[in-house]
Amino acid sequence: MVWFKSGGKADWLFEPADLDDLVSFMSKLEPGTPVMALGLGSNLIIRDGGVPGVVVRLGKPFSCVEVKRDCVLECGGGAPGILVASQARDAGIAGMEFLRGIPGTVGGFVRMNGGAYGREVADILVDCDVVLPGGNLVTLPVEDLEYSYRHSRLPDGAIVVAARFKGVPGDPAAIGAEMDRIAEEREKSQPLRTKTGGSTFKNPEGAKAWQLVDEAGCRGLKMGGAQVSEKHTNFLINTGDATSADIEGLGEEVRRRVAEKTGVTLEWEIQRVGRP
């Protein structure tokens, strides 16, 4: 289930028991079968016609976080950001506090170069283990991902099963205080208690997406059951009965109005997948 609580079903859902199970499954799939990894479903619109092929959900076997030497954490692809940040805090490892502010799992934010509060995954990633379509398990150093803003060169259908993050020594109390600050800031500024998908559009060079949306008069704009959040205009919310078509259509209308008003074409940050 995704955070928007909308959209159709996957043709197939697979929850691997462990890494060997996933590698075996991927190696036996018909070549060309679409594969999509699903974490917490936070940054995602599943279209109403459902998802073709196989959705792979990494559950508990992939959610471990281990402290290694030299301020390195080894994290499963299904581990939530808040767990990674908390383990880093307890181990006195600084530099990962921002993960407290990313509502997703390691696999998702490694793929998307997730970031918040001035930091991004590219700043801390050492390397990651990835199962490729066909079942090959490879370890890719951060350089191979060719990170840019909210983007990596990971191929479609590749599933991030683990990642190593490196921080610096820090004081657990100071790290905890920064995590608390991030949590409070999110609570104050974002519509966390609604059915939403997180930041909708990427920030254009030298600008803030929410300001452009606001300037175009889109605060509170509605389409069907979807609405631009009054609290933070870079968030779309499902007010109760929105279809995914409502949500995506509203996003496209916001993009149109922003382009008309400011000349800036906003790029989607939320992933949109599946059949209309």
Catalytic residues: 150, 199, 269
CA nearest 74: which of 127, 36, 118, 131?
Answer: 127
In the numeric block, the tokens 């020594």 are attached to: 169
The residues pairing with 119 across neighbouring beta strands, listed in sequence order, are: 116
The two tokens of residue 119 are 């930091």
CB atoms near residue 148 (< 10 Å) = 10
**What single string gives the DSSP state of each residue in 77-136?**
TT-BHHHHHHHHHHTTEES-GGGGG--SBHHHHHHTT-EETTEEGGGTEEEEEEEPTTS-
CB neighbours of 120 closer than 8 A, spacing ≥ 6?
98, 113, 114, 147, 149
If residue 61 lies in a helix (H) or strand (E), which one and from where to where? none
Rounded distance, CA 230 to CA 234, Å?
Answer: 10
Going edge to edge, which strands form the sheet with 72-76? 65-67, 72-76, 159-166, 125-131, 137-141
Q: What torsion do the CA atoms of 204, 206, 208, 211 make, to the nearest 10 degrees? A: -110
